[in-house]
A and B are shown apart, each in its own frame.
Chain A
Amino acid sequence: MKSLKNHLSLIIALFTVLASVQIYVAVDRTIAAYESHLKNDYSVIVVTSELINPGEFKAMNSMIDRSEPISTAQVLERLKGEMSQKNLDLLKLTLPKFYRLYLNRFPTPREISQLQKKLESNSAIERVEGFSQTHDTVYKLMLLFKDVVQIFSIAIAAVTSLLILKEMRLWQFQHAERMNIMALFGAPVWLRSAVLFRLAIVDAIIATLILCLAFFLIDYYGYLTMQLKEIGISVQLFNFVDDAVRSLIIALGVSVALTFTIVLFHREEE
């Protein structure tokens, strides 16, 4: 019973570390999904004096994914009755060209102003509208949230590591007698500490399994995912292969590394 309690506290501590990392990853993934959603809606309008083909636009800045000319036919159509065909043709020639530029990712405000400057430096381009002030508030909130989660995760990782160290010192105390006896018969350190490592590895695996289960349930019951769908984000909060492997590596890394510190700083007696 007592050993079960010891296991539980290590498992919970490891789970907490894994969960905070997983939440960070999920937030990051959500933001990436939201960015691609924003990207599709976002475009820069450019007014030029000459025709510029998509290749030329792309050459101007690597962020530019594609360009679409905005048709002026509608405007001209409306003027049809009021002007002679000759004047209309003349107007058609002098009327500036309008383009809508789509980017390959959602830009930061800084990137928008850089892009704008770059485009304006081209003599054929007369005006650029980057709509930087329409930068989404939800997006800004998300970025803020990501920072908060990041700080939060780091704090949790630090505190839990201390807890785990304390827990392992307790283990070591419990196993000290056996480890000393083994030492008296010439067992090398790794053999004496094998029990500790075995416990650390087993608990890391259990913590990973619990994490996978928890996030599987969150994904399965889909409340969060649905909420996100409503604001146009389709995202997988838990990716079974990547996330499970990463979690297992982190859990094993943390618990084995802490066991190592415990074993290395152990003073022998007798």
Chain B
Amino acid sequence: MDNVIIAENLSLSYKEFETIISKATFSIEAGSFVFITGASGSGKSTLLKSFYGAIEPRQGQLMVGGVKMNHISTSKLNFLRRHIGIVFQDYKLIKEWTIEKNVMLPLIISGYTGDVSGAQVQKLLGHVKLTHQAGKYPQELSGGEQQRVAMARALAHNPILILADEPTGNLDDYSSSVIWNLLEGANTQLKTTVIVVTHHIPEGLRIPYKHYHIEFGTINEIA
């Protein structure tokens, strides 16, 4: 099986003489389900950012989906991002757009229009149990509902990789279970690689997964 992510001696930092992640070497297989844990401020979000090109490697090599992330061009990065679905801790929904249109965003960007994307959006809103809220705006929804919208958006374009940063961080149990179910479903049914940053690994998972823990800038796999 191919690797979706390959890191070799990867170091990450925001400023020049600082280190958040230090010389990490690891790879993530396509189709796997990965949890990343670590204390607050340990660099989990920073690592995730490097996967979608919001921060460039300070040192070492990073490949995502076969694309080299060091000095990546804007057009290559845009192309890569059109095959990634991201769920942010703060949802990042477009507040001027309806729920329906928010879910449609990746499809709009990929140039799908009309019936195809409409049907896809309806299907996803059904999966996250928000069909009746389709015409509302993000502010009119609860945090849990907004995160379910973000989850639907992350799946809309059938990405090869889903990155989720504490997706259930402060959600109610119902919304959390909807989100875990969808992440599991995407992984088992669509073979999508899923990488989730979380504080707690949910109990009762029916799928095999890998677990990496970040501490003092190093990434260790927990068996």
Contacts and interface: CB of A to CB of B under 8 A. Distances in A.
A135 to B, nearest CB: 63
A184 B83 CA distance: 11
B79 interface: yes
A173 to B, nearest CB: 14
A186 B106 CA distance: 8
A88 B95 CA distance: 103
Interface string B48-81: 0100101000000000000000000011011111
Interface residues of A, number: 13
Contact of B82 (A177, A178, A186, A189): A186
A260 to B, nearest CB: 16
B96 interface: yes
B109 A178 contact: no
Given A187-B78, A188-B75, A182 B52 contact: no
B186 interface: no
B180 to A, nearest CB: 23
Contact of B78 (A177, A181, A186, A270): A186
Interface residues of B, number: 23
B47 interface: no
Contacts of A223: none
Nearest to B80: A186
Given A178-B94, A178-B96, A184 B109 contact: no
Nearest to B109: A187
Contact of A186 (B94, B97, B109): B109
User: Which of the listed residues A177, A178, A186, A189 has the most CB atoms from chain B within 10 Å of its own CB?
Assistant: A186
Contacts of B54: 184, 270
Contacts, number: 44
Contact of B92 (A181, A188, A189, A191): A181
A185 interface: yes
Contacts of B179: none
Interface string B91-122: 01111110000000110010000000000000
B96 A185 contact: no
B37 to A, nearest CB: 23
A178 B105 CA distance: 11
B86 interface: yes
Contacts of B94: 177-178, 181-182
Contacts of A187: 78, 109
Contacts of A189: 74
Given A178-B94, A178-B96, A270-B54, A185 B75 contact: no
User: Which of the listed residues A183, A185, A187, A191 has the most CB atoms from chain B within 10 Å of its own CB?
Assistant: A185
B96 A184 contact: no
Given A191-B109, A270-B54, A186 B92 contact: no
A188 B109 CA distance: 8
Interface in A182-218: 182-189, 191
Contacts of A178: 94-97
Contacts of B86: 184-185
A137 to B, nearest CB: 61
A184 B52 contact: yes
Interface in A82-134: none
B105 A186 contact: no
Contacts of B75: 188
Contacts of A182: 94, 105, 109
Contacts of B109: 182, 185-187, 191
A176 to B, nearest CB: 12
Q: Which 7 A-B pairs have the closest CB atoms?
A: A186-B81, A186-B82, A186-B78, A187-B109, A178-B94, A270-B54, A185-B106
13 contacts: A178-B95, A181-B92, A183-B81, A184-B81, A185-B82, A185-B86, A186-B77, A186-B82, A186-B106, A187-B109, A191-B109, A270-B49, A270-B54
